[in-house]
């Protein structure tokens, strides 16, 4: 048995090194001026950076799915990101996804450091969502996932942690559309399925009030009816993308957009009551999407920004891939997805992700903010992508501990 384990670990390390060379060498087209303007704006807002020379790739990490190997890379990436980003913490969604990753990392690593920083951040912001006086949308309330988790972790003892979220949700839940005068449904874009539903399920866990589950179920159904592609088993980013076609004539399915939904399904199922009559719907969604995404994985374990157009978007994209790994690993851990079928996909994906980790802990090949596939430097690293990576690592650690 020891010989077999060592052999597998050696093969995995060789595979990581081999793919790392090709992944680092393969760069996509340079960003257009319009794309570069978004990159410059994101960098100026401290969402991340994309230096010309990020230094060498990491050589001290392993894609082996063992607790020690997973811990090492999670800590490496988390510590780099915390040092880079802590002075600029904000309530916008780009940060809230990172906060969810830090919370998951703290639990997975058994290290309170990251959770303590999240508690300090939350207290600084007085547990408020973004734009609390302007009928906040799904992005704006996403930070409440962390507030609710802190409240639950503290034994539901400090009501002030969730009081602002209760007030905010009570304000937006009666609205039939996004806002008065805006005919769009509240969750009109697929990203919202990560940002909002997990807030409502956690608030149900925090309060026991089923109105949060009822609202979540109704709104997800509206988004499904609007954006779900029954042929591709994927979501359009929003209704404007349904008729659009990419440079290759295919439908446009953005990897991070699909990642938001798959990860959103996992985070929703975590706190959705086991006997909820709508639970089978979410389980089937996770099965359908995981199956389609697995079919679109490259041989090197990675995915492209445009899932159906590797020719025009050849570079790996790691924020979507991280969210895919998280959702799939959660599905395997919960017995929703077949382990024999999905473990090879997950192993390749994790090895592919690690090919984008630099020596200092930077996670590269994260596309800048946007709504569709774009171009970026291999060094591009943004908060939300790291949040997805840490969530993925946390589920893989849970998987490794089950062995």
Catalytic residue numbers read: 191
Burial readout 245-267 (b: 16 or more C-beta within 10 A, e: otherwise): ebeeeebbbbbbbbbbbbbbbbb
In terms of phi and psi (left: phi > 0; alpha: psi -120 to 50; beta: otherwise), the region of 25 is alpha
């Amino acid at each position: 048995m020891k010989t077999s384990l060592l052999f597998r670990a050696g093969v995995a390390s060789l595979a990581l090194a081999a793919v790392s060379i090709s992944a680092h060498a393969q760069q996509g087209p340079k960003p257009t001026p319009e794309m570069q303007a978004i990159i410059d704006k994101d960098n100026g807002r401290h969402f991340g950076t994309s230096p010309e020379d990020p230094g060498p790739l990491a050589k001290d990490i392993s894609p082996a799915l063992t607790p020690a190997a997973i811990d090492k890379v999670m800590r490496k990436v988390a510590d780099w990101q915390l040092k880079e980003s802590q002075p600029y913490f904000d309530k916008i969604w780009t940060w809230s996804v990172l906060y969810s990753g830090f919370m998951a990392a703290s639990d997975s690593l058994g290290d309170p450091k990251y959770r303590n920083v999240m508690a300090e951040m939350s207290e600084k912001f007085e547990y408020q969502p973004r734009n609390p006086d302007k009928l906040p949308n799904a992005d704006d309330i996403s930070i409440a996932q962390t507030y609710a988790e802190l409240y639950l972790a503290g034994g539901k003892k400090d009501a002030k942690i969730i009081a602002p979220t209760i007030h905010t949700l009570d304000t937006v839940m009666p609205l039939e559309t996004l806002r008065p005068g805006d005919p769009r449904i509240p969750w009109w874009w697929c990203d919202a399925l990560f940002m909002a539903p997990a807030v409502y399920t956690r608030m149900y866990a925090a309060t026991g009030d089923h109105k949060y589950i009822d609202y979540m179920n109704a709104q997800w159904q509206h988004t499904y009816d609007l954006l779900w592609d029954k042929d591709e088993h994927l979501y359009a980013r929003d209704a404007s993308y349904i008729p659009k076609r990419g440079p290759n004539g295919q439908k446009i399915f953005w990897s991070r957009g699909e990642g938001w939904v798959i990860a959103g399904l996992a985070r929703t199922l975590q706190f959705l009551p086991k006997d909820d009559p709508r639970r089978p719907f979410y389980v089937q969604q996770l099965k359908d999407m995981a199956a389609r995404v697995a079919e679109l994985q490259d041989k090197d374990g990675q995915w492209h920004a445009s899932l159906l157009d590797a020719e025009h978007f050849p570079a790996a994209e790691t924020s979507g891939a991280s969210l895919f790994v998280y959702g799939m690993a959660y599905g395997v851990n919960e017995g929703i997805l077949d382990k024999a079928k999905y473990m090879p996909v997950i192993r390749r994906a994790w090895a592919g992700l690690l090919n984008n980790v630099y020596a200092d802990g930077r996670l590269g090949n994260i596309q800048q903010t946007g709504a569709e596939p774009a171009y970026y430097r291999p060094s591009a690293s943004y908060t939300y992508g790291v949040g997805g990576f840490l969530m993925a690592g946390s589920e893989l650690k849970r998987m490794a501990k089950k062995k």
